[in-house]
Amino acid sequence: MAKDVTTIPYKTYLTEEEMPKQWYNVRADMKKKPAPLVNPGTLKPMTAEELEGVFCSELVQQELDDTTPYIDIPEEIRSFYRMYRPSPLVRAYCLEKKLDTPAKIYYKYEGNNTSGSHKLNSAATQAYYAKNQGLKGVTTETGAGQWGTALSMACSYFGLDCKVFMVKTSYEQKPFRREVMRTYGAEVTASPSDTTEVGRKLLEEFPGTGGSLGCAISEAVEAAVTREGYRYVLGSVLNQVLLHQSVIGLETHKAFEKIGVTPDIIIGCAGGGSNLGGLIAPFMGEKLRGEKDYRIVAVEPASCPSFTRGKYLYDFCDTGKVCPLAKMYTLGNGFMPSPIHAGGLRFHGMSPALSELYDQGLMEAVSYEQTEVFEAAEMFARVEGILPAPESSHAIKAAIDEALKCKETGEEKNIVFGLTGTGYFDLVAYQQFNDGTMTDYIPTDEDLEAGLAFVPPQPEE
Amino acid sequence: MAKDVTTIPYKTYLTEEEMPKQWYNVRADMKKKPAPLVNPGTLKPMTAEELEGVFCSELVQQELDDTTPYIDIPEEIRSFYRMYRPSPLVRAYCLEKKLDTPAKIYYKYEGNNTSGSHKLNSAATQAYYAKNQGLKGVTTETGAGQWGTALSMACSYFGLDCKVFMVKTSYEQKPFRREVMRTYGAEVTASPSDTTEVGRKLLEEFPGTGGSLGCAISEAVEAAVTREGYRYVLGSVLNQVLLHQSVIGLETHKAFEKIGVTPDIIIGCAGGGSNLGGLIAPFMGEKLRGEKDYRIVAVEPASCPSFTRGKYLYDFCDTGKVCPLAKMYTLGNGFMPSPIHAGGLRFHGMSPALSELYDQGLMEAVSYEQTEVFEAAEMFARVEGILPAPESSHAIKAAIDEALKCKETGEEKNIVFGLTGTGYFDLVAYQQFNDGTMTDYIPTDEDLEAGLAFVPPQPEE
């Protein structure tokens, strides 16, 4: 049971001086850039003016900038980051021992803040720019609730109104999430709701629906554009979000430098791609510049398999079709993930930047069913002492599988994964797992066809 | 909103090499020692042999040892500690700014592990010694659930059965706590239960009772002594627990050395005294040895005010009167805290060591009503980004009050408090607070008299 003190500590923290002062913009190093957002009416790339009706001006600039590799992090945001960052890079000694693997397993742990996840990195940034622009408030959607909680925290810190549309399934499964957001002063509405046109329409068509991220996005956008002094903010998918989340990867990269280790495999769970895109950013940069090579693995739920079973197409990001079109791996804006699926990673699409990188063969993707994901979660919790979020547990499962392959081959690979958050609000799912009543739903080919039925006309490229 | 980078970081971590290798036993520096545990039958001090029927042998030695100042932490426990320690000493820059106080506020944050509190420090230790002694399992009680969760985690790591009696009020208010414990493989029973004699008796007498820590202790002790290969473990009150928790204070002391700061006021919430006793240990040692002086403040709920309204007497630690007698500040083993009271800090007594220190005038005590405690909790959450446990929020409230006094006087005092844990499982209480329906119950003098009605005959000293 004992473990000798080794030269590599259990946890590696950067000092506050070593924390990143700039975000890294991976698009700057991509020869073929991600496809631009497109106006669904004209099928032409969205202009800054068009986007500024929905998003804060500074964030629009970041969204469109695919040439500047490093962008300064304003001091106010660095100050906010210091409240809960740097996050530790943890060596999973106990998991390695449990698996009896020669692999070295590391994880970057983003759960040490009350929002329970990495989402706070972008929430703080977007709230800051909204405040700076003199706005009154922001609207958003949340699925599992991590993004909504993060944004509520950020808005209460910077003094902004915060209106959250929460996917109905999650709203019902996670009443306590709502209370955390309320404690931070946010207004939370179950989506679809009767407070927006798009919500009322959907409720009429599907009265019993548990909602979807796509629908909650439509409601939040409508609530923003019909209100003076409000803008819409999004916690994933967008280029700006991946930019903000690059702090995860930059800290990870520097922590590995400090301990003199180079990772071989980098693993992250992928819903809209915010965590994965952030974690891999500087490593992908090295790969794009031909300086180093890494295996990079995206992990997604078998019940919502955008990368592994989706199509690379222009599609709406929302169900109500009020958003611009994005070229991405998508299951179609008509796809509704099964309510059996716990936690996040329920979005029908995927970050356009990651989609392009995946299409270029620069990263792999794999999918898992939720019961095997919870088995990995339980094993991890019991030896590493952290109850992981279901989302993060997808990455745990993939890391365990890679470590077990190393056991077969005897290879001492360095594996790192993103432990994006904690499972404190996922106990209904853990209870199902503990009771042995957890199942999963894998979409049939017919389900996937139905999801793609509403894909819009494709712009010329 | 901006905050310049100062020489004192937001968070100070020790390196793993700097982490304590020995616990500090404050009793060794006390001239007048805490009163010994006494056999309720003979009214003589409990012998090691008598105690070993209930507790692990090594822990009995630690319980009785009031002369050895430093006790080695076994490597296996230090290894477990490295999984989630060192914990950060945080400078509360944002809270200071919010209060506009010249005081410097620090907190030692113990919530960065899944048990959500400092309890894991002693749980790991007790589980390790039980395993080392070749036991099959341990039994315990839990109130708010933090101790039970911590023990479940420790038992799953060291491979021990874990049977938890959870105070019924908490069991019902916190169903998710049960699921975390189950995920870690523990068996959880609501107390009082019909699985023990003492539980059945109490249920007959008070069919609608919400239970109490005192009753759950009786049940857990009965379950341990009537089972082959089991011992009982306790998460607070005992000398051994304060010894293990001294890691909190030792880390805090060294972190202050690193940043060149000496605290003026040290504040901790107090239920049974495990966190407070651990946090203050090395500082109290300096005070006892006449090397330094500090103001040390215990904070308790007005609804369960052992220090501020209790008597310093020999009393049972449990309602069923199966435990040894301890001399402590007590509300009487017949005292049942109101179910209106949220969270922990519900024990009728107080650590005998802290009781003796308080009686000698070496520390102060103050009590607060829960509504004002939640106001402090919400303010803290909004500016410092951590949703605090109700228990910890008592210390926050006292720290805020001290900082506001500094604002009046202009003094730049250094205030440190123990932020023992997170409020993820206290959202029912937060909801009451958010809805404005939270109240409190302050015991009347008659309630206190009734609580003391069952105090046993006092041994001669």
pLDDT, one tens digit per residue, over A395-419 is 999 999 999 999 999 999 999 999 9
Q: What is the pLDDT of residue A221?
A: 94
Predicted local confidence at residue A399, as pLDDT: 98
Which position has the higher pLDDT, A428 or B273? B273
Domain count, chain B: 1
Tokens of A227: 């209100």
Determine whether the interchain pair B387/A9 forms a contact, defined as Cβ–Cβ distance below 8 Å.
no
Q: Which amino acid is at A398?
A: A
Closest CA to A38 of A273, A316, A311, A310: A316
Within a 10 A sphere around the Cβ of A191, how many other Cβ atoms? Answer: 33
| Residue A294 tokens, joined | 């890494």
**A5, B16: Cβ pair inside 8 Å?**
yes
Q: Give the closest of A4, A17, A384 to B83, CB-based.
A: A384
- Rounded to whole angstroms, how far apart are CA atoms B396 and B30? 29
Q: What is the pLDDT of residue A214?
A: 82
pLDDT confidence tier of residue A6, bands split at 50, 70 and 90:
low
- The string of DSSP codes covering B274-326 is HHHHHHHHHHHHHHHTTS---EEEEEEETTS-HHHH-EEEEEESSSSS-SPEE
**Of all residues in chain A, what percent carry a pLDDT higher than 70?**
99
Our CA dihedral for B66, B69, B75, B78, rounded to 10 degrees, sits at: 100
Contact A23, A243 (CB under 8 A): yes
CATH number at residue A390: 3.40.50.1100
Judge whether residue A38 has pLDDT over 60. Answer: yes
| Closest by Cβ to A430, choosing from B120, B183, B185 | B183
Using the beta-carbon criterion (under 8 Å), do B387 and A180 form an inter-chain contact?
Answer: yes
- Paired strand residues for B419: B109
CA angle A328, A330, A334 (to 5 degrees): 135
Q: Please judge whether A3 and B79 are an interchain contact, meaning their C-beta atoms are less than 8 angstroms apart.
A: yes
Chain B residues lying within 8 Å of A94, measured CB to CB: 83, 157
Q: Averaged over A50-79, what is the pLDDT? A: 96
Is the backbone of residue A22 left (phi > 0), alpha (psi -120 to 50) or beta?
A: beta
Distance from C-alpha of B376 to C-alpha of B369, rounded to nearest angstrom: 11
Amino acid at B359: D
pLDDT at A346 over 80: yes
Summarised one tens digit per residue, pLDDT across range B61-117 is: 999 999 999 999 999 999 999 999 999 999 999 999 999 999 999 999 999 998 889
**DSSP summary character for residue A187:** E
pTM of the predicted model as reported, rounded to 2 decimal places:
0.94
The average pLDDT across A250-272 equals 97
Of the candidates B76, B381, B382, the beta carbon closest to that of A2 is on B76
Residue from A178, A196, A197 nearest A188 by CA: A178
Chain B contact probe: residue of A4, A15, A80, A82 with most B CBs at under 10 A: A82
Task: Please classify residue B292 by burial: count the beta carbons closer than 10 Å to its beta carbon, then call 0-12 exposed, 13-18 middle and 19+ buried.
Answer: exposed
Contact (CB, 8 A) for A208 and A124: no
Which of B179, B373, B382, B383 is the best substitution to test chain A (most A C-beta atoms within 10 A)?
Answer: B179
On whether residue A338 sits in a domain, the answer given is yes
Tens place of pLDDT for every residue, chain B, 461 residues?
344 445 899 999 999 999 999 999 999 999 999 999 999 999 999 999 999 999 999 999 999 999 999 999 999 999 999 999 999 999 999 999 999 999 999 999 999 998 889 999 999 999 999 999 999 999 999 988 899 999 999 999 999 999 999 999 888 878 899 999 999 999 999 999 999 999 999 999 999 988 888 889 999 999 999 999 999 999 999 999 999 999 999 999 999 999 999 999 999 999 999 999 999 999 999 999 999 999 999 999 999 999 999 999 999 988 888 889 999 999 999 898 777 777 788 889 999 999 999 999 999 999 999 999 999 999 999 999 999 999 999 999 999 999 999 999 999 999 999 999 999 989 989 999 999 999 999 999 999 999 999 999 999 87
> What amino acid occupies position A412?
E
Do B315 and B431 contact (CB within 8 A), yes or no? Answer: no
The b-or-e profile of A253-279 (16+ CB within 10 A means b, else e) is bbbbebeebebbbbbbbbbbbbbbbbb
**Cis peptide preceding B36, ω within 30 of 0:** no
- Residue for token digits 């996937």? A448
Q: How many CB pairs under 8 A join A and B?
A: 127
B88 lies in a domain? yes
Whether residue A387 and residue B84 make contact (CB cut-off 8 A), yes or no, is: no
Cβ separation A385–B113 shorter than 8 A: yes
SS3 B389: coil
Of the candidates B1, B84, B156, the beta carbon closest to that of A158 is on B1
What residue numbers bound the domain in which A443 lies? Answer: 11-21+73-116+239-452
Name B311's bridge partners: B330
A 10 A CB-CB count for B44 gives 12
Q: Which pLDDT belongs to residue A2?
A: 40
* Residues of chain A positioned with their CB less than 8 A from the CB of B378: 183
Q: What's the CA gap between A254 and B283, in Å, rounded?
A: 37
And the tokens for B382? 């909004």
Q: Is the pLDDT of residue A339 over 80?
A: no
- What's the gap in Å between the CA of A346 and the closest CA on chain B? 23
- Residues belonging to chain B: 461
Collect all residues of chain B within an 8 Å Cβ-Cβ radius of residue A127.
none
Q: Exposed, middle or buried by CB within 10 Å (0-12, 13-18, 19+), for B378?
A: buried
pLDDT, residue B174, reads: 82
Q: From CA A71, how far away is CA A86, in angstroms rounded?
A: 19
Do residues B56 and B140 make contact, with C-beta atoms less than 8 angstroms apart?
A: no
Which candidate from B16, B82, B183 shows the least CB-CB separation from A434? B183
| A37 part of a folded domain | no
Cβ pair A382:B184 closer than 8 A:
yes
A27 three-class SS: helix
> Token digits for B447?
């309630």
Whole-angstrom distance, CA of residue A251 vs CA of residue A245: 11
Whole-number Å distance between alpha carbons of B435 and B429: 10
In B, which residues are within 8 Å of A434 by CB distance? 179, 182-183
Chain centroid offset of residue B457 CA: 28
In angstroms, rounded to a whole number, what is the distance separating the alpha carbons of residues B319 and B242? 22
Pairing of strands A265-269, A295-301: parallel
Q: Which of A331, A113, A13, A267 is nearest to B112 (CA)?
A: A113
The reported pLDDT for the residue numbered B213 is 82
Which tops the pLDDT comparison, B209 or A368? A368
Confirm if A145 and A170 have CB atoms less than 8 A apart.
yes
Q: What is the DSSP letter of B438?
A: -
Give the pLDDT confidence score for residue A212 in this predicted structure: 83
pLDDT score, position B6? 57
Max CA separation in chain A (angstroms): 65
State whether residue B265 is helix, strand or coil: strand
Q: Where are the alpha helices (DSSP H) in B133-273?
A: 146-158, 168-173, 175-183, 197-205, 213-225, 239-259
Whether residue A157 and residue B422 make contact (CB cut-off 8 A), yes or no, is: no
The three-class DSSP label of residue A172 is helix
Q: Would residue B289 count as lying in a domain?
A: yes
Å between B176 CA and nearest CA of chain A: 6
pLDDT of residue A3: 42
ipTM over 0.90 threshold: yes
Domain-embedded: residue A49: no
Please give the pLDDT value at position A5. Answer: 45
Task: Report yes or no on A416 lying in a domain.
Answer: yes
> What average pLDDT does chain B have?
94
Tokens of A325: 């079109």
What gap in Å lies between CA A17 and CA A254, rounded to an integer? 12
Q: Which pLDDT score is estimated for A16?
A: 94
Q: How many CB atoms lie within 10 A of CB B107?
A: 27
Domain-located, residue B390: yes
Q: Which residues in chain B touch residue A383, judged by CB atoms under 8 angstroms apart?
A: 157
- A206 part of a folded domain: no
The two tokens of residue A23 are 């975000």
CB B372 within 8 A of CB B297: no
Which single residue is written with the structure tokens 């089991």? Answer: B230
* Maximum distance among all Cα pairs of chain B, rounded to whole angstroms: 65
Judged by DSSP in three states, B427 sits in helix
Chain B residues near residue A17 by CB distance under 8 angstroms: 5
Residue B15 main-chain phi, psi, to 5 deg:
-80, 165
Residues from chain A contacting residue B83 (CB–CB below 8 Å):
10, 94, 384-385
B17–A5: do the CB atoms touch at under 8 Å? yes
The answer for residues whose C-beta is within 8 angstroms of residue A353's C-beta and 6 or more apart is A26, A27, A30, A34, A239, A242, A273, A277
pLDDT at A144: 80
Structure confidence at residue B452 (pLDDT) = 95
Instruction: Say if the Cβ atoms of B114 and A422 lie within 8 Å.
Output: yes
pLDDT per position as a tens digit, A69-91? 999 999 999 999 999 999 999 99
- Nearest Cα residue in chain A from B378: A183
B348 contacts B245 by C-beta, under 8 angstroms:
no
Closest by CA to B318, choosing from B244, B225, B444, B180, is: B225
| pLDDT reading at A275 higher than 80 | yes
